[in-house]
Amino acid sequence: MTKKGLANNLTNYGDPDFSLYLRRSFARSMGYSTEMLARPVVGIATAASGFNNCHRTTPDLVEAVKRGVIAAGGLPLDFPTISLGEVFLNPTSMMFRNLMSMDVEEMIRAQPMDSVVLVGGCDKTLPAQLMGAVSAALPFVYLAVGPMMTGRYQGERMGACTDCRRFWGQYRSGAISKSEIDTVEGTLAVTAGTCAVMGTASTMSCIAETLGVSLPGTAAIPAVHADRLRAAEASGRRAVELIGAGLTVDKIITPGAVENALRVLLAVGGSTNAIVHLTAIAGRLGIEISLARLNELSDTTPVLVDLKPTGENYMEDLFAAGGVGAILRQLSPVLDLEARSVTGETLGERLAADLGYADPAIVRPFAEPYQPVGGLVALYGNLAPRGAILKRAAADPELFEGEGRAVVFSSLDDLNERIDRDDLDVTPDDYLVLQNAGPKAIGMPEAGYLPIPGKLARAGVKDMVRISDARMSGTAFGTIVLHVTPEAADGGALGLVENGDRIRLSVAERRLELVVEDAELARRRGAKSDDAAMVHKRGYGKLFVDHVLQADQGCDFDFLRGVGA
Ligand code: FES
């Protein structure tokens, strides 16, 4: 890589010398000296937004990145991209992840920079930034904004967003009052940063460090900790050093690094969303992730980390307990130690050099794990020929083997309308089925965490088998089968399930079967009107529906996967 600085990617006026002259003269209007303008350029992709509470510290982080870039001899130039604040987007942030990835990729490609630091972290933001940066193929360092600290409610530690759901469940069942839930609302998210538990943002941050695209030891640093600013400064410095070093992204995100990331995902009891995002990121490099392989890894990778929603603790505890380094050290016998990070160091070299501190109460030893097998499993059967995902680490094992009567909701609107009706025909042993909540139907929202029907919640029922083509928040828990592929709106058998059908679930055998004869399913398919995919006549919605792939291909767009300019 040549250090072209501002001479990169010249605006095309048909006269390159004129283009550079014009660019420099306009750049001078920002007050930079000639010496600064001659330096290699480090772009800083930022995703700050008034609609994204998680990224509130971005301006401070950008200043720290700039400090590191300047100290190392570069010229830092920050630029904004789309920001995806998880709870501020309709119908779901997932629908805009690919749009943001295109924004990030194209702005890295089009503007004059030699390397880039990406600053973000909220659920879809981190995957979108990695997808875009991987495709842009410029050297980069990923800097997560870091997790929130916990709050307090009546002496109890509180963190977004596992506790949000727990208290909402209590409110729905009548166990706590309206004024109590209003007070709880003010205690759940009390600092800047991403959700305080091992939700999607934290899982993806751990994955970014494991893939080697973030600096070692940085994933779990709280958003408001001074170490986070030091990580930003170091990321800026490293981005300068990467220019011309030949450490291209395909040398960092290798098949071995992706498998390491899958191991960490399983060991942290991480978010189900992470399998979709990691599949999309790896897919940009032509690396396929097979759900069958996920099952093999899951059986040989115990859950080591005691963090909500699987366990009891929070990201600030993981940071104090040794962070991702402590997890990697425990997993090292099953990891690819030749995988290399942006530091240039192999994972083996990193682990040999680190101090080795770990608090075993939070990061358990491999031989004495928190749970004996990995957090996620893929299920297959006639209901999910291309797979479905269950987060067994956060589910009730008593519901893992059995058969239930289907209680079907044909859409989210139908669910909202009927789930709390007293005349709903449902018992605790039934399986709740939600159709038409997949990628093409509605952008695959986090609607798979179907609420327990009101009358059962009031009777004390805490968990039921729930099946859908939707996703679930990484902070949620329950016996919830997600990502059923293909989705109902894309010809999947999920769309053929009727009230009263029997469904067989076996986590031990990795099976999910609709107990209905093939001939009857064929009859229903023939009688079915068109699939319920979203209808958009123009704009991004049309692009999305026309090109989004199913969950087993990371819900990326068909034209964005694979290697190439
Ligand atoms: Fe941003 Fe949870 S809302 S990470």
pLDDT tens by residue, 250-304: 999 999 999 999 999 999 999 999 999 999 999 999 999 999 999 999 999 999 9
Q: Examine the pLDDT at 180 and tell me if it is beyond 90.
A: yes
Asked if 145 and 156 sit in the same domain, the reply is no
253 within some domain? yes
Index of the ligand 1 atom closest to the CA of residue 475: 2
Decide: helix, strand or coil at residue 252.
helix
Integer Cα distance of 496 and 503 in angstroms:
12
pLDDT at 356: 81
Which residues, judged by CB distance below 6 Å to any ligand atom, belong to the binding site of ligand 1?
54, 86-87, 122-123, 194-195, 199, 201
- Cβ 366 vs Cβ 331: under 8 Å: yes
DSSP 400: S
Nearest protein CA to atom 1 of ligand 1, as residue: 122
Question: Ligand 1 centroid to 312 CA: how many Å?
Answer: 19
Decide: helix, strand or coil at residue 128.
helix
212 within some domain? yes
pLDDT at 565: 55
Question: Ligand 1 centroid to 122 CA: how many Å?
Answer: 5
Start-to-end CA distance of the chain, whole Å, equals: 16
Asked if 178 and 235 sit in the same domain, the reply is no
Q: 58, 119, 122: which to mutate for ligand 1, most atoms within 8 A of CB?
A: 122
274 within some domain? no
Nearest protein CA to atom 3 of ligand 1, as residue: 86
Q: What's the domain range around 169?
A: 151-185
Q: Examine the pLDDT at 3 and tell me if it is beyond 60.
A: no
Amino acid present at 521: L
Question: Ligand 1 centroid to 512 CA: how many Å?
Answer: 31
Q: Examine the pLDDT at 564 and tell me if it is beyond 80.
A: no
CB-based contacts of 252: which residues, under 8 Å, 6+ apart?
211, 212, 213, 339, 340, 341, 342
Integer Cα distance of 435 and 272 in angstroms:
19
CA distances from 383 to 388, 505, 506 (A): 9, 10, 13
Question: Ligand 1 centroid to 126 CA: how many Å?
Answer: 11
Index of the ligand 1 atom closest to the CA of residue 161: 2
pLDDT band of 529, cuts 50, 70, 90: confident
Asked if 118 and 157 sit in the same domain, the reply is no
Q: Examine the pLDDT at 85 and tell me if it is beyond 80.
A: yes
Integer Cα distance of 393 and 200 in angstroms:
15
Asked if 74 and 132 sit in the same domain, the reply is yes
Question: Ligand 1 centroid to 203 CA: how many Å?
Answer: 12
pLDDT at 162: 87
- Cβ 364 vs Cβ 326: under 8 Å: no
Integer Cα distance of 453 and 428 in angstroms:
9
How confident is the model over 127-151, as pLDDT tens digits? 999 999 999 999 999 999 999 999 9
Question: Ligand 1 centroid to 163 CA: how many Å?
Answer: 14
Question: Ligand 1 centroid to 542 CA: how many Å?
Answer: 27
How confident is the model over 309-348, as pLDDT tens digits? 999 999 999 999 999 999 999 999 999 999 999 999 999 9
Index of the ligand 1 atom closest to the CA of residue 123: 4
Index of the ligand 1 atom closest to the CA of residue 53: 1
Index of the ligand 1 atom closest to the CA of residue 194: 4
How confident is the model over 95-104, as pLDDT tens digits? 999 999 999 9
Nearest protein CA to atom 2 of ligand 1, as residue: 195
Asked if 164 and 220 sit in the same domain, the reply is no
User: Residue 296 phi/psi, 5° resolution?
Assistant: -65, -45
Give me the CATH number covering residue 71. 3.40.50.2300
Integer Cα distance of 126 and 142 in angstroms:
9
Decide: helix, strand or coil at residue 96.
helix
How confident is the model over 375-406, as pLDDT tens digits? 899 999 999 999 999 999 889 999 999 999 99
Q: What is the mean pLDDT of residues 537-552?
A: 97
Give me the CATH number covering residue 393. 3.50.30.80
Q: Which helix (H) or strand (E) holds 480?
A: strand 480-482
Q: What is the mean pLDDT of residues 439-454?
A: 95
Index of the ligand 1 atom closest to the CA of residue 121: 4
Asked if 327 and 411 sit in the same domain, the reply is no
Question: Ligand 1 centroid to 127 CA: how many Å?
Answer: 13
92 within some domain? yes
Asked if 166 and 302 sit in the same domain, the reply is no
175 within some domain? yes
pLDDT at 181: 96
Index of the ligand 1 atom closest to the CA of residue 87: 3
Residue of 322, 352, 299 whose CA lies nearest to 209: 322
DSSP 557: B
Q: Which two tokens stand for residue 466?
A: 């729930």
Q: What is the mean pLDDT of the chain?
A: 96
Question: Ligand 1 centroid to 273 CA: how many Å?
Answer: 13
Q: Examine the pLDDT at 51 and tell me if it is beyond 90.
A: yes
Question: Ligand 1 centroid to 84 CA: how many Å?
Answer: 9
Q: Examine the pLDDT at 2 and tell me if it is beyond 60.
A: no
CA distances from 36 to 18, 27, 30 (A): 20, 10, 11
Asked if 247 and 334 sit in the same domain, the reply is yes
Q: Which helix (H) or strand (E) holds 141?
A: strand 140-144
213 within some domain? yes
- Cβ 350 vs Cβ 329: under 8 Å: no
Q: Partners of 143 in the beta sheet?
A: 119
Question: Ligand 1 centroid to 95 CA: how many Å?
Answer: 16
Q: Does the predicted model carry a pTM greater than 0.95?
A: yes
Asked if 430 and 511 sit in the same domain, the reply is yes
Asked if 307 and 406 sit in the same domain, the reply is no
Angle CA(215)–CA(218)–CA(224) in degrees, nearest 5?
140
Q: 129, 148, 195: which to mutate for ligand 1, most atoms within 8 A of CB?
A: 195
Percent of the chain with pLDDT over 70: 99
Question: Ligand 1 centroid to 376 CA: how many Å?
Answer: 21
277 within some domain? no
Percent of the chain with pLDDT over 90: 93
Asked if 480 and 523 sit in the same domain, the reply is yes
Q: Examine the pLDDT at 415 and tell me if it is beyond 90.
A: yes
Asked if 421 and 530 sit in the same domain, the reply is yes
367 within some domain? no
Question: Ligand 1 centroid to 85 CA: how many Å?
Answer: 7
How many domains does the chain contain in total?
Answer: 3
Question: CA-based Rg of the chain, rounded to a whole angstrom?
Answer: 24
pLDDT band of 531, cuts 50, 70, 90: confident
